[in-house]
Amino acid sequence: MYDFSTMSSQTVINEDDVLRRLHLVIARLVRDGKTVARLDNSDHEIFPVAVSPVEGQALRDWVTKESVARTIEIGLAYGVSALFICEGLLMNRLPDVQHVVVDPYQSTGFKDCGLQLLEEAGVADLVEYHAEESQILLPKFLSEGRRFELAFVDGSHFFDRVFLDLIYLGRLIKPGGIIFVDDYQLPAIERAVSFCLTNLGWALEETSQPDENHQWAVLRTAREPISRSFRDFVDF
């Protein structure tokens, strides 16, 4: 966790050094499109599994635009989206900034490449990592009273699982907060989003151009709780 509230002038220089180190790692990943896992020396092609640099920049821009300090991400993979989120958090220079990441497949599916790249970029201390399924962990966060200001959703692409991610994140994110959803081009993702827009009072802030690999949608949760009876339902 980074705390900018007690920074000296020397600390500011050090934090700027972290941003420069972070930029170098992002630039290398974009240039090479691959990385080598320290875990077993295996080669990994990063794209198109990871979000594109354009999407990463859009994600970073929403972090800075909303001036958030607490973020959560479902699905770390190769860590590209997390790097851009951390960049935005560092640029905001707010006290106690933290990024929470949930990914049960980091070791088995990605040989810890995402965690490795966060360490290489110098932002590992900014990240709280959980190797659990989001559908199990998010209710725990809710029971613990955890709160976030922005979420990035890029975990399971099954309708039922992403639906649960959105429902729980809608309760974990502050009213009027941002949920940035990847893979909006997939019918299951679009349908899960549609329920939140038509039944929960969420707003669609932005959608990217259609893309067969990564289209994104930016959602804003309801600023005030909406009144619903058990008979209220809008087909989605």
pLDDT digits (tens, 9 = 90+) for 188-201: 999 999 999 999 99
Specify if 78 maps to a domain.
yes
> For residue 191, what is the domain's CATH number?
3.40.50.150
In a domain, 232, yes or no: no
With respect to residue 25, please indicate whether it lies within any of the assigned structural domains: yes
Q: What is the mean pLDDT of residues 218-224?
A: 95
- Is 236 within a domain? no
Task: Encode pLDDT of 63-115 as tens digits.
Answer: 999 999 999 999 999 999 999 999 999 999 999 999 999 999 999 999 999 99
pTM score of the predicted model = 0.91
Q: How confident is the model at residue 236 (pLDDT cuts 50, 70, 90)?
A: confident
**Residue 81 located in a structural domain:** yes
Does residue 34 lie within any of the structural domains? yes
**Residue 2 lies inside a defined structural domain of this protein:** no
Query: Residues of 168-188 as b/e, b for ≥16 C-beta within 10 angstroms?
Result: bbbebbeeebbbbbbbbbeeb
What integer pLDDT is reported at residue 225 of this predicted model?
81
Q: Domain range holding 198?
A: 9-220
C-alpha distance across the termini of the chain, in Å = 40
Q: How many domains does the chain have?
A: 1
